Amino acid sequence: MKPPHSILFIVLMLFSSDVVAQQLPIDQPQSVPFLATTELADDTAWVSLFNPGGDSLPISLSTLGVFGSPAFYAPASVLILPPGQVTRIPVRFRPRHNIYNVSSLLIGAGGGQSSVGLGGQASYSRAYYSPTQNLSGEDLRQALRLRVSSPYTQLGYSGTNNARLRMFGTIDNWKVNGREPGHTNPYKNECVYTGRTISYTGTDFSTATLNNAPYSMNTEHTWPQSVGATNEPMVSDLHHIFISDGPTNSARGNKPFGWVPNPTLTYTGGSKANSTTFEPRDAHKTAAASAILYFAVRHMNQAGVDLSFLSPVQESDLRDWLRIFPIDSVLRRRNDDVQAAQLNRNPFIDYPAFLERMTQVRGVAQIPTHSRLVVIDSVVQLGAVLPGDTLVYPVVLGNPGTDSMRINSILPVGSGLTIQNPPSLPLTIAPGAVAQVYLRYLGGQTPLNGSVQLGLAGQPGGLFTLGVRATVENSMGRFVLVSPANEATQTLQGSRTQNFTFRWSTPGPSAAGSLRFDWVLYGPAPQRDTLLWRNTIPDTQLSFTYAYMDSVLQEAGLSPGLAHGLVWTATAHVASTHRGAERAHMLHVVRGVLTTSLTETMDHQVVLYPNPSAHRVVLEGQDAANNPIDKESIKVLDLMGRQMPVDLCGEPDRLAWSVASWPRGTYIVQFVVGAERLPRALRLMVD
């Protein structure tokens, strides 16, 4: 039996009375900070995942959005993490908003769920918008109004070098703006609604001439003059005036923009209309949408501007167009050219994402909530569970919104399914954060087809249902940890004789006779290297001496006198198929101050030489009170814990033996010296 399960290693500790499944420690702080960056760059942080179990573990990843759009990116495909291995997951921060972005990385490990918090400050590469930093809702709307209102040059609608002449002569002139620099005539313009173009020389360059045949090109006020664009500065604002075919301009009139699924009028180029609404061709939808939304923000406080023209329906459609139709290089170039002429920019061409942080631009804006519950798996697969076995399973609930989410009720449905240590209700989840709920399942005789129903305050429907599934496993392969206690903290000290013994039991002789066990000790984070491995152990007990365990830690290069967080796991096997339950445990090892060089003295009186040696070694010395080495206590172990034959000769304080037949490698020489008879150990290298 191996029910899927993962834990956040630094946060969760499981209950010794419960069977737990494969565990996934995350050797990472609970929150990962990213470097400050812009929308044109990114920063990458790494999350280390460790699989201490005996089987490969599928890993799925997901991140919570920020204002409804991704800001942090993790690998989209399912990763396979082999047993005993560590993998580093890259998480990329590529912001869309110039705010402090808060999110979470959701991690599914074979169905189990964990999370890591994510956060990073972002700014926009265009310093023009620095006054909007970290603002949303009405604060952002007003900051944008002030930003695009000053500095601002009013060009006028008539006279020398006015806005219309700039529009025809430079800003929307293909010869000048780069769309067709090799054009024969100095002037070429295009109707934004039909795509019809005109070409002419400087002789005809006047608005009066261009308005009449044969050119018939007018100046289209995207925000109609009749609803507020008649006077200055609105009438000459280049961000919303465009070149248009005269008849088509008249046909549009002052109709609002929007989708027209069943047009009664169609025009060359793809624009269409009915009696109430005008839909520009696709090539102009982004320009038209950004112009209307800009006008509402820039001129919201101007006398005569009727903001009711921008109805909720029209604003919704315009927002759709900005999401669907990309902003191209022509429109970006136009924004630059308009700024060169009148000093301000259209923010919705530069950063359409501003709209995601405001509920509306036609009136007082709120901060959008985007409040909805997110889980990495809509159906929790507990896997195969033994009848009578209890499994505790953490579920991660994410809030990608901008407002706190409140869960008012948690109701498990299904025989044997309960909530472990139910949280106090209402359960509040902060924006970009997660909460964990622990499912507790007592295995039955029939499969589980249950659910957990979550009552959500202020959510559509008010109810979120999470499916929970489990199948029935037979008892073959079950084992129970006897000692040390599950999740026990143990201390390794060199000041006394000490053994580490691990014991487990099985259901009965038939099962025990077919079982084999693996025991693995892993090193500290983040590498989690395998330090010690015992496999296919037919017994239900495994013991190590202090000296041997210490030798393993020394060979791993762990610093003496410090605490090291190690992990050990025990796995049961039936034949060649893993059907056992895995337990992961913290072994907090506090080492005494040990010999770390190969020829260092012990108590300034005992030496081991030559070291390294290929033939003969000598152990010589005594303690401060002239007590000699206890000859009978001398024992030499290899790094597998096997005792080597030692044929001692010499005097009590100078003992020697041959290592000529020993394999090359590292050995641990154990002995006692002095009246206190405390154990001592030295490393010996045979070369």
Helix (H), strand (E), coil (C) string for 88-129 = EEEEEECCCCCCEEEEEEEEEECCEEEEEEEEEEEECCCHHH
Specify if 92 maps to a domain: yes
Specify if 21 maps to a domain: no
Specify if 105 maps to a domain: yes
- The residue with tokens 């500065």 is 233
| Overall domain count for the chain | 4
First vs last Cα of the chain: how many Å apart? 46
Average confidence (pLDDT) per 10 residues, the chain, 687 residues: 28 27 44 92 90 80 94 90 86 96 90 88 97 97 98 94 96 96 96 97 95 96 97 97 96 96 94 97 98 98 96 98 95 98 98 97 92 88 83 92 92 95 92 93 92 86 90 67 65 60 65 64 79 73 78 76 72 50 53 37 62 84 73 79 82 82 83 70 79
Specify if 390 maps to a domain: yes
Helix (H), strand (E), coil (C) string for 408-432 = EEEEEECCCEEEECCCCCCEEECCC
Q: Does residue 467 share a domain with residue 346? A: no
Residue 633 CA to residue 648 CA, distance in Å, equals 12
Q: Does residue 227 share a domain with residue 155? A: yes
Can you say whether residue 81 is alpha, beta or left, with left for phi > 0 and alpha for psi between -120 and 50 degrees?
Answer: beta
Would you state the structure tokens that stand for residue 171, as one six-digit string? 């800003």
Q: Does residue 147 share a domain with residue 103? A: no
Tell me the CATH number at 518. 2.60.40
Q: What pLDDT shows up at residue 479?
A: 65
**514 to each of 16, 137, 187, 479, 503, how far by Cα in Å?**
25, 66, 90, 12, 17
Q: Which residue, 472, 492, 521, sits at the end of a domain?
A: 472
Strand partners for 56: none
Specify if 17 maps to a domain: no
Comparing CA positions, the residue from 231, 236, 347, 242 lying closest to residue 297 is 347
Q: Does residue 384 share a domain with residue 342? A: no
Q: Does residue 323 share a domain with residue 188? A: yes
Q: Does residue 416 share a domain with residue 293? A: no
Q: Does residue 106 share a domain with residue 231? A: no
**107 to each of 87, 116, 499, 602, how far by Cα in Å?**
13, 8, 38, 50
Q: Which domain holds residue 406?
A: 31-123+370-472
Q: Does residue 536 share a domain with residue 428? A: no
Q: Does residue 486 share a domain with residue 455? A: no
pTM for the full predicted model: 0.75
Burial category of 585 from C-beta neighbours within 10 Å (exposed 0-12, middle 13-18, buried 19 and up): buried
Residue 457 CA to residue 396 CA, distance in Å, equals 18
Specify if 365 maps to a domain: no
Q: How do 217-221 and 241-245 pair as beta strands? A: antiparallel
- Around Cβ 379, how many Cβ atoms within 10 Å? 13
Comparing CA positions, the residue from 392, 284, 570, 290 lying closest to residue 20 is 392
Q: Does residue 486 share a domain with residue 459? A: no
Which secondary-structure segment (H or E) carries 190?
strand 187-190
Q: One-letter amino acid identity for 356? A: E
Q: Does residue 235 share a domain with residue 178? A: yes
**649 to each of 149, 611, 612, 616, 634, how far by Cα in Å?**
98, 18, 20, 11, 12
Specify if 23 maps to a domain: no
Q: How far is CA 483 from the centre of its chain?
A: 37
Residue 555 CA to residue 683 CA, distance in Å, equals 10
Q: Does residue 310 share a domain with residue 185? A: yes
Q: What pLDDT shows up at residue 577?
A: 38
Q: Which residue, 472, 494, 520, sits at the end of a domain?
A: 472
3-state secondary structure of 576: coil
Q: Which residue, 309, 336, 357, sits at the end of a domain?
A: 357
Residue 652 CA to residue 650 CA, distance in Å, equals 7
Contact 140, 357 (CB under 8 A): yes
Q: How do 427-429 and 405-413 pair as beta strands? A: antiparallel
Contact 678, 627 (CB under 8 A): no
Specify if 226 maps to a domain: yes
∠ Cα 410 413 414 (to 5°): 145
Tell me the CATH number at 437. 2.60.40.10
